[in-house]
Chains A and B, each alone.
Chain A
């Protein structure tokens, strides 16, 4: 039996620095906080959006509205998956019409989650702009979707997996590459 090989991509300090930089980039991209709304994708994207929002609060002294999005019901493979995935909470802070929405997720891979998120967001209004902010871009896109802000870019083969752990859910901050990943 071969143990999956784990390589650290970001340790806790590197993750914290990446989020700090991402917060600054979000502010630049949105030209301030006026129309800005951060929407995290369940589950770890929600925690990352919260961290970025807190960082912006520290930097600017402004509370940025944030929300959570569960895209399960918008998945393009819902008809094909076996046991139904557990659905998390969706919480959108008000009408999104005219807002600059920044979607926050942990890992960008095929792009299908983002596709689903775009469909779902359209049911909550017509944002002026939607941007994409991800902690790790692992390549391997199957749809024409690209991120605006990236914490770390890594080339990962299809047999491997990127695990993002966050304090709030997993008890520690860590991003690692798992070879021959078994879930």
Chain B
């Protein structure tokens, strides 16, 4: 139906470099829409989108909701708590019931890896992943790519290092796929307990010490340390983590070049990142948030099912000036 991206967006692993570039290029004009006095275009008028969030989320859910509303789609939010999910309804049953109410798209966040794909294979509506388990968080990586491209003018040839909990991070996985496909060099750095075995096989270089990563990289993408990891014994203590892997002003000052600092949020100040770094002049953390809305608008716009057969019926030239 929509040849450009396919039906669903569940991960960057399944996109070609051209498809990724198309989303980033399409995001450019959408940035301007959010700067208008009336921040709305009628592109998805009449489309109904359900935001199905089985995990807590503030930034991603609000960002998707803004993107949907600025495209004039009608949106409904469903959270796992307070819904039939609590009564034991399966994911597919929930989605099929929503589909019976004639929806067009589902944005899903789910604690299980592969949930978005699973759902996409079973319903007709477009499915967009807003993060599934430890698998992927495609729109986060897309906004990271857009922000890197904005800051450096390119992605190919840049050295980007992901720092922190690589093992549990869907953000890391999506970033690795996206960055490699667009020709960046990718590094990872973090405690051995939070590093997936065989990570080098993906084509990334591994740094054991944060100082080495800082010396190597143009861009640091500092991942959130999920605090529950400490309780499970992956790291000895938060203070210890900060001392060994914290991205601090002192460490950055010793770098041979100015590093761009990114973080997908929410930040643990004083754990993975120093406040002075997070608020410093080379931090693009808030630009990432701004770009998030534009990238999600682009993805929704490109996925929204067109119906070419209607275009034929309405005869070719209508719409375009002369095409």
Contacts and interface: CB of A to CB of B under 8 A. Distances in A.
A78 B71 CA distance: 12
A82 B308 contact: yes
A59 interface: no
Interface string B32-45: 11001110111100
Interface string A74-110: 1111111111101111110001000000000111111
Contacts of B26: 84, 86-87
B322 A123 contact: no
A84 B2 contact: yes
A106 B321 contact: yes
A41 B29 contact: no
Contacts of A81: 306, 308, 311, 319
Nearest to A44: B321
Interface of B: 2-4, 25-26, 28-30, 32-33, 36-38, 40-43, 46, 71, 301-302, 304, 306-308, 310-311, 314, 317-323
A111 to B, nearest CB: 9
B221 to A, nearest CB: 28
Which secondary structure dominates where chain B touches chain A?
Answer: loop
A9 to B, nearest CB: 12
User: Which residue, of A95, A110, A158, A183, has the highest number of chain B Cβ atoms within 10 A?
Assistant: A110
User: Which residue, of A41, A84, A109, has the highest number of chain B Cβ atoms within 10 A?
Assistant: A84
A24 B108 CA distance: 57
A112 interface: yes
A41 B308 contact: no
Nearest to A113: B321
B307 A79 contact: yes
